């Protein structure tokens, strides 16, 4: 006899998250990086896939985290995570409070590390 799962188990929401209908990309002068969930700008390579690129543009010793760019409910946000010189969107300083990003926004993480936001519906 096959045992059926308890009804309570059938009503649980799926843990699988559907792919977002927005494709978010940061375009740097050296290439593009897709943001699928969360992207740390700066820090070590374990936490940031672009850490090596960021390290070329920062001074001082040791890796620093500059900012986090992330998708939440198909909206792209950026927040500064305590960088020394700040993070800027279209020339305006970003606080630790998340700021919504729009297609075409210019995000400056450091003097030589600038990205253009590209948002496309799938």
Neighbouring residues of 114: CB distance < 8 A, sequence distance ≥ 6: 28, 29, 106, 107, 108
The per-residue pLDDT for 118 is: 97
The CATH label, of 1.10.3720.10, 3.40.50.1170, 2.60.200.20, 1.10.1040.10, for the domain at 20-121 is 2.60.200.20
Q: Rounded to an integer, what distance in angstroms lies between the CA atom of residue 87 and that of residue 92?
A: 8
- pTM recorded for the entire structure: 0.73
* pLDDT single digits (tens) 57-70: 555 544 467 889 99
Mean pLDDT of all residues in 87-106? 95
- Residue with the bigger pLDDT between 83 and 4: it is 83
Q: Rounded to an integer, what distance in angstroms lies between the CA atom of residue 34 and that of residue 63?
A: 22
* pLDDT single digits (tens) 4-32: 444 443 343 344 455 558 899 999 888 88
Q: Rounded to an integer, what distance in angstroms lies between the CA atom of residue 110 and that of residue 42?
A: 10
DSSP 59-100: -SSS--EEEEEEEETTEEEEEE-S-SS-EEETTEEE-SS-EE
Q: Rounded to an integer, what distance in angstroms lies between the CA atom of residue 115 and that of residue 64?
A: 18
């Amino acid at each position: 006899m096959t045992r059926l799962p308890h009804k309570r188990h059938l009503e649980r929401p799926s843990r699988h998250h559907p792919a977002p209908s927005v494709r978010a990309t940061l375009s740097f002068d050296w290439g593009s990086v897709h943001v699928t969930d969360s992207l740390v700008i700066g820090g070590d390579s374990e936490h940031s896939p672009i850490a090596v690129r960021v390290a070329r543009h920062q001074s001082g010793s040791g890796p620093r985290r500059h900012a986090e760019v992330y998708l939440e409910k198909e909206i792209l946000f950026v927040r500064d995570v305590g960088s020394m010189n700040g993070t800027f969107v279209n020339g305006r300083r970003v606080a630790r409070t998340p700021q919504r990003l729009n297609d075409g926004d210019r995000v400056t993480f450091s003097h030589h590390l600038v990205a253009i936001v590209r948002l496309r519906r799938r």
